[in-house]
Amino acid sequence: TTPVQVSGLSGATAIAAGEHHTLALKSDGTVWAWGENSDGQLGDGTTTNRTTPVQVSGLNLGSTTTPTPTPTPSPTPLGATPQIAAGDFHTVALKSDGTVWAWGYNSYGQLGDGTTTNRTTPVQVSSLSGATAIAAGYYHTAALKSDGTVWAWGYNGYGQLGDGTYTDSSTPVQVYGLSGVTAIAAGAFHTLALKSDGTVWAWGYNSYGQLGDGTTTNRTTPVQVSGLSGVTAIAAEEHRTAALKSDGTVWAWGRNDFGQLGDGTTTNRTTPVQVS
């Protein structure tokens, strides 16, 4: 009921948590994991649960430290910032070279390697390069590319891949009609995108209003979140969504049975409400 330090782990620069497993990215580019490993989500080549961190096998995302500036700028653009994300029982990593790697549960193709075979060590997501951000839902995964487009793969039963279908895909498909995106987020069965103009767009499962379009209708392509502008960051978890605006206010929508939207009620919201 009080914090305990994770054993034998230092130099961490980022963390992520799945349903029953946890990840840390270290400054040397290595990834470490602990917790449940029934589907290989720890990436150490086994399905053995771990109570202390184990290193993800054969994976280095690239240094996460800021390079020392040189007097003459390099003509080669800087690569992606290494990132980690965790779904329900799968894990995803973005390397500094813009490639995406995944491991763990894969029954819906959420690892993106063209199969539905679980993996206990990382495999590269097929036909995807130039990625700059990643997000993981329960059984689907998404990536933002440097050209501002969004790609998704895995379970699509609610339209969360955004390609206009309900068909699962074991390789990335492009989210329909979406460009100029600067950030992405994923809930259990819905996906979000923040555009450079400060608007937020959403697609997928919507029974609790988590898409924020004023309805509870599932969407297979992106719809704009109603009445929301000037957004600088987004987050999604299970059946709810939140946004940070440039004025420092926070807005939320979707499931609210435990007051998780912070508006002083337990009423689900289909459009954004300000956190009190």
Q: How confident is the model at residue 74 (pLDDT cuts 50, 70, 90)?
A: very low
Strand 181-186's sheet: what is its strand order?
181-186, 190-195, 200-204, 219-224
3-class DSSP assignment, residue 242: strand
What's the confidence (pLDDT) of residue 127?
Answer: 96
What's the confidence (pLDDT) of residue 65?
Answer: 62
The tens digit of pLDDT for each residue in 244-265 reads 999 999 999 999 999 999 999 9
For the chain, the average pLDDT equals: 95
What's the confidence (pLDDT) of residue 68?
Answer: 45
Q: Is the pLDDT of residue 104 over 80?
A: yes
Q: How confident is the model at residue 56 (pLDDT cuts 50, 70, 90)?
A: very high
Residues 6+ apart with CB under 8 A from 206: 158, 190, 213, 215, 216, 217, 218, 219
What's the confidence (pLDDT) of residue 205?
Answer: 98
User: If 0-12 CB within 10 Å is exposed, 13-18 middle and 19+ buried, where does residue 106 land?
Assistant: buried
CA-closest candidate to residue 36, choices 50, 56, 17: 50
CA distance 27 to 45: 23
Taking CA atoms, 83 is separated from 98, 110, 124, 134, 168, in Å, by 10, 17, 15, 7, 25
Amino acid in position 180: G
What's the confidence (pLDDT) of residue 79?
Answer: 74
CA distance 2 to 38: 27
